[in-house]
Amino acid sequence: MSQWWKEQVVYQIYPRSFMDTNDDGVGDIPGIISKLDEIRSLGAGVIWLSPVYKSPDADNGYDISDYRSIDPKFGTMADMEMLISQAKARGIKIVMDLVINHTSDEHEWFQKSRDKDSPYRDYYIWRPGKPGGKPPNNWTGFFTGTVWEYDGQSGEYYLHLFHKKQPDLNYKNQKVVEEIKEIMRFWLDKGVGGFRCDVINIIYKSSLEDGKYQVVARGIEHYQSQEGAHRILKELRRDVLAHYDCFTVGESVMVDLDGAKQLSDPERGELDMVFYFDHLEVDRVVARYIPKKFRAVKLLQVLTKWQQGLDWNALYLENHDQPRIVSHYGDDGVFRERSAKLLATMLFTLRGTPFIYQGQEIGMTNFDFTELSQLRDVESYNIDKLIRSFFVPARIRWNWIRTASRDNARTPVQWSAEPGAGFTGGEPWLGVNANYKDINYREQQGRPDSVLNYYKQMVALRASNDTLKYGKFIPLYAKAGVIAYSRVLGEEEYTTILNFSGKPARAAGTGPVVASNIGRDSFDGSLSPWEAVVLGKLVDGRGKVFRPVPPSVSPVP
């Protein structure tokens, strides 16, 4: 089947924060429909929709209580069908979020499984406790704390790697796999273009032995990328996905390059692409919450590893779990617009399918909250509790939470300078950033040099250019804040030079400018603060190659 998804740009929507049409403060499906033209004008051909299924919202929809219905706060199934067809009319496919590691505890399967004699008992992972009222093993979850919850009704514990309202399904039970196949067919038959598969590499628990010591996700060696998960992915592909023109991108937790290769190797027939986290953790210790210094040299190393290691990458800098990239790797102060464009330059000159997260295309920043009580994310509260138990002082705690909280990405999209940022006429479920008066879609739409218009240019540049899509990635140079790499296809070559710093810098090389975040039309080797430039290689009238940039760009002292 054709690999159309390699040609496309994907736009991720987190529905509750996207656009509210009935002023209840929560984004909805009619809101998405009302913005389809904006998404089309950006040049995206796919929308990945974070969950809109029925859910009690213990984890904002990642706890599903019915996979075949739409939660009333988002609209109706008719709205959903309308969205699919309205998107289709604009050449856009909708991709659903497939959250199948766990369900909500309010899902009927789980409710039935609380009865020991029910055929649904084995849909989940139930175990008796250890003597002395201790849980069945020492595992800890992604949201911290034990993964076991005791259920008085049947006198046993059930496993939950995330929130206790997100019980894990038992993938040793073939009936569960068959249920999932039916759910996938249900949505594919409605015309969706594929799935983003939530934490897909951890669905299969090989054993429930105690885990090696670590604070968060203790026990992961028993469920990360197990043979069982690979086998199930192959089966889902063979029995379901292969019969539709669709793609899958799998979120893969704590995966290394070899693991990601296995999951996305076309020969193996599992996933089409994987999301990994390495490139966003250059300035983090172990996981997101403990900061260390950002080094551009390290970033280029990580990019090179994945660009050369995988045949095809899922390229992303933001999603609903990550801080805003301009606040993370860029400068959300004086150089906000310029650094946001630099990050866009990087995103669209790497090899893979680019993903844009809502608001990224206008350079939205992290939230401006000043205390924990303004946050909604369950993870932030749990992390705070955890690090408090290690006696981390309040100020440092808040600093960590503030920079890494998932709510950074979840504040409402800033559409205009009207009250509620044009997102809602009511009280938003999570506070709007006060900078909406300066940073909003409408203002940027009307300004040629805006971040929004730069995104549009970069999407268009990639779309029209096979070298940027399919060219080989070659790292050229990294020093201090500057990195350079090129993309090569046959005789064609493009070089990207990025200055990740607020200081001027130099990088040798002159030549025709294909993209510039400061509106240059020629380049002489001197870089402004946060400057990004893409240089092209041209072929002259006689077919002779003109190399504007030496193959290895070297620093000029």
Q: Does 283 bind Ca ion (CB under 5 A)?
A: no
Within 8 A by CB and 6+ apart from 212, the residues are 218, 221
Which range, of 22-30, 172-180, 351-359, 394-402, touches Ca ion by CB under 5 A? 22-30
Query: Smallest distance, Å, CB 165 to ligand TEU?
Result: 11
Options 251, 272, 377, 407, the catalytic residue: 251
286: helix, coil or strand? Answer: coil
| 142 contact choice in Ca ion, ligand TEU, none (CB below 5 to 8 Å, kind-dependent) | ligand TEU
C-beta of 428 vs 509, nearer to Ca ion: 428
| 22 contact choice in Ca ion, ligand TEU, none (CB below 5 to 8 Å, kind-dependent) | Ca ion
Of 76, 77, 51, 55, give the one whose Cα is nearest residue 64: 55
Taking the mean position of all CA atoms in its chain, how far away is CA 528?
30
Q: Does 29 bind Ca ion (CB under 5 A)?
A: no
| 62 contact choice in Ca ion, ligand TEU, none (CB below 5 to 8 Å, kind-dependent) | ligand TEU
Cα distances (Å, whole numbers) of residue 236 to 248, 249, 273: 11, 13, 15
Q: Which of 20, 156, 332, 379 binds Ca ion (CB under 5 A)?
A: 20
Which range, of 24-32, 190-198, 203-211, 303-311, touches Ca ion by CB under 5 A? 24-32
| 379 contact choice in Ca ion, ligand TEU, none (CB below 5 to 8 Å, kind-dependent) | ligand TEU
Options 198, 318, 321, 531, the catalytic residue: 198
Catalytic residue flag (residue 251): yes
Query: Smallest distance, Å, CB 59 to Ca ion?
Result: 19
Give residue for tokens 């950074």.
Answer: 408
Q: Does 7 bind Ca ion (CB under 5 A)?
A: no
Of 99, 250, 253, 70, give the one whose Cα is nearest residue 180: 99
Give the residue closest to Ca ion by C-beta: 28
Residues 100, 161: contact at Cβ < 8 Å?
Answer: no
Cα distance between residue 305 and residue 411, in whole Å: 33
Q: Which of 26, 176, 342, 505 binds Ca ion (CB under 5 A)?
A: 26
Q: Provide the binding-site residues for ligand TEU, judged by CB under 6 A.
A: 59, 62, 99, 142, 162, 198-199, 251, 253, 287, 320-321, 379
Q: Does 253 bind Ca ion (CB under 5 A)?
A: no
Number of residues that bind Ca ion (CB under 5 A): 5
Q: Does 387 bind Ca ion (CB under 5 A)?
A: no
Q: Does 34 bind Ca ion (CB under 5 A)?
A: no
Q: Does 22 bind Ca ion (CB under 5 A)?
A: yes
Give residue for tokens 């072929």.
Answer: 539
Cα distance between residue 473 and residue 471, in whole Å: 6
Which range, of 20-28, 246-254, 336-344, 385-393, touches Ca ion by CB under 5 A? 20-28
Q: Does 70 bind Ca ion (CB under 5 A)?
A: no
Give residue for tokens 């259920």.
Answer: 151
Query: Smallest distance, Å, CB 351 to ligand TEU?
Result: 24
Vertex 29: Cα angle to 26 and 34 (nearest 5): 105
Contact letters for Ca ion, residues 75-94 (x by CB under 5 A): --------------------
C-beta of 77 vs 286, nearer to ligand TEU: 286
Give residue for tokens 């290769």.
Answer: 261
Q: Which of 4, 6, 7, 24 binds Ca ion (CB under 5 A)?
A: 24
526: helix, coil or strand? Answer: strand
Give 343-347 contacts, CB < 8 A, sequence gap 24+. 343/317, 344/451, 344/454, 344/455, 344/458, 344/517, 345/458, 345/496, 345/498, 345/515, 345/517, 345/532, 345/533, 345/534, 346/317, 346/496, 346/498, 346/532, 347/315, 347/316, 347/317, 347/458
Within 8 A by CB and 6+ apart from 546, the residues are 537, 538, 539, 540
Helix axis angle, 174-189 to 227-239, nearest 10°: 40
β-strands 148-151, 482-489 pairing: unpaired
| 492 contact choice in Ca ion, ligand TEU, none (CB below 5 to 8 Å, kind-dependent) | none
Q: Does 239 bind Ca ion (CB under 5 A)?
A: no
Give the residue closest to ligand TEU by C-beta: 62
Catalytic residue flag (residue 283): no
β-strands 545-546, 284-285 pairing: unpaired
Vertex 85: Cα angle to 81 and 89 (nearest 5): 170
C-beta of 57 vs 321, nearer to ligand TEU: 321
Q: Does 256 bind Ca ion (CB under 5 A)?
A: no
Q: Which residues here bind Ca ion, judged by CB under 5 A?
A: 20, 22, 24, 26, 28
Catalytic residues, by residue number, are 198, 251
